[in-house]
């Protein structure tokens, strides 16, 4: 079974530039997550999709971050404009359940995109 | 809001030593608990998980964890570590609350384990 795919693996940009990350979840997984992992910290959830709808984006800095999951499969996370503090690894994960009331299951993670903002 | 604490940020052990990594969480309701591992240069992988039933959970590569509800803990153990266990270990909690947006993981800050030959 193919895992979660992410691209690019590395990205270096200057502050105020924009950047986009792409994620392809495991086939058939309805729920997709984007996490931000700053060096020395654990991953922090930014946004959660169920199919192509947003379930939770309470920790997404909406003034500069946006995400979409058109057609309920691939997803794109964008940062515009980037700040120095956005330097982190951006992880995509997917899980095979709907993430609804009382339902839970394992999340499978991709390799991440390491973003450096200069 | 729930939180997860991992007490040891860096642990250095010799091969064959026993390992115990602490994990405590703050949430009073039903939880699901996970340990993930990240080997150097690789992505996060599931080590083991607890959803319900026997509080002693066995995972891959000889790891196990014990859920102690009264202590809000889910410590990871391995009786004899190997050099290949060198990695970063993350504890994570899903509060499984009955609201929209379930399956939201909260991670600890991670423990970097180095096993020396």
DSSP structure string for A42-92: --EEEEEEETTEEEE-TTS-TTTEEEE-GGGS-EEEEESS--GGG-EEEEE
Q: Which of A107, A109, A110, A112 has the highest number of chain B CBs within 10 A, making it the mutation to test binding with B?
A: A107
Q: How many CB pairs under 8 A join A and B?
A: 71
What pLDDT score does B96 carry? 63
Contact status of B1 with chain A (Cβ, < 8 Å): no
Question: What residues contact residue B36 under an 8 Å CB cut-off, 6+ apart?
Answer: A109, B44, B45, B46, B47, B89, B90, B92, B107
What pLDDT score does A98 carry? 55
Min distance A117 CA to chain B CA atoms (Å): 21
* Range with the poorest average pLDDT among A56-60, A69-73, B19-23, B53-57: A69-73
Peptide bond into A8 cis (omega under 30): yes
Residue of A nearest to B47 (CA): A106
Min distance B79 CA to chain A CA atoms (Å): 25
Share of chain A above pLDDT 70, in %: 92
Whether A101 has a pLDDT exceeding 60, the answer reads no
Per-residue pLDDT of chain B (117 residues; tens, 9 = 90+): 678 999 889 999 999 999 999 999 988 777 889 999 999 989 999 999 998 889 999 999 999 999 999 999 999 999 999 999 999 999 999 876 544 446 778 999 999 999 999
Contact status of B101 with chain A (Cβ, < 8 Å): yes
* Mean pLDDT for chain A overall: 91
What pLDDT score does B102 carry? 60
Confidence of residue A50 (pLDDT cuts 50, 70, 90): confident
CA distance A40 to A19: 23
The average pLDDT across A11-16 equals 97
């Amino acid at each position: 079974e193919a895992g979660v795919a992410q691209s690019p693996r590395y990205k270096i940009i200057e502050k105020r530039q924009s950047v986009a990350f792409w994620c392809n979840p495991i086939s058939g997984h309805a729920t997709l997550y984007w996490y931000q992992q700053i060096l020395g910290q654990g991953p922090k959830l930014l946004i959660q999709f169920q199919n192509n709808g947003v379930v939770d984006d309470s920790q997404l800095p909406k003034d500069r971050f946006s995400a979409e999951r058109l057609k309920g499969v691939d997803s794109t996370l964008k940062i515009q404009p980037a700040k120095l503090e956005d330097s982190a690894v951006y992880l995509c994960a997917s899980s095979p359940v709907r993430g609804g009331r009382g339902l839970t299951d394992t999340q499978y993670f991709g390799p991440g995109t390491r973003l450096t903002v200069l | 809001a729930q939180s997860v604490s991992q007490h040891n940020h860096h642990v250095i052990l010799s091969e064959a030593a026993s390992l115990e990594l602490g994990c405590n969480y703050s949430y009073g309701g039903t939880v699901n608990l996970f340990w993930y591992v990240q080997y150097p240069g690789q992505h996060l992988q599931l080590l083991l998980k607890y959803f319900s039933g026997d509080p002693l959970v066995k995972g891959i590569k000889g790891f196990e964890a014990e859920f102690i509800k009264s202590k809000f803990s889910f410590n990871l153990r391995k009786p004899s570590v190997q050099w290949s266990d060198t990695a970063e270990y993350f504890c994570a909690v899903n509060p499984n609350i009955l609201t929209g947006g379930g399956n939201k993981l909260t991670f600890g800050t991670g423990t970097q384990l180095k096993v020396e030959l």
